[in-house]
Amino acid sequence: MKLREIIEKLKLKVLTAQDKLETEVSGGYTSDLLSDVMANSREGNLWVTLQTHQNIIAVAKLKDLAGIIIVNKRQPDQETMKKAEEEKVPLLATELTSFKISGELFELMRSKD
């Protein structure tokens, strides 16, 4: 499923990298430990987290993730936004919790299988 379609269906707010939304999403990964994401996420995954530190951009880039969903109305700091724009990593925002957005993403992707 294309990232753009997920963004529309889950009503995500696009914060950065508007031109990188045609990526194919391979699945999701939900975790707030960046060491765990580095070890266990897969290429093309959409990552759900509440971490807003700029290291999230480096991890997304390193693992070739499709994008990052920031949950719970959290606002990434300026440095993180700047890095995301430079590295072309889509940062997406939702007011939902990790539990709810992961559930919605799971259902949406399962319905397309």
Q: Does 89 bind another protein (CB under 8 A)?
A: no
- By CB under 8 A, residue 58 contacts another protein: yes
The answer to whether the beta carbons of residues 46 and 63 sit under 8 Å apart is no
Scanning 13-21, 31-39, 91-99, 100-108 for contacts with another protein by CB under 8 A, the matching segment is: 31-39
Residue 65 in contact with another protein, rule: CB under 8 A: no
18 secondary structure, DSSP code: T
**Of 18, 55, 72, 75, which one interacts with another protein (CB under 8 A)?**
55
Alpha helices in 1-113 (DSSP H): 3-9, 34-40, 55-62, 78-87, 98-111
Q: How, if at all, do strands 45-49 and 67-70 pair?
A: parallel
Please report, as ranges, the residues that interact with another protein according to CB under 8 A: 32-35, 37-38, 51, 53-55, 58-59, 77
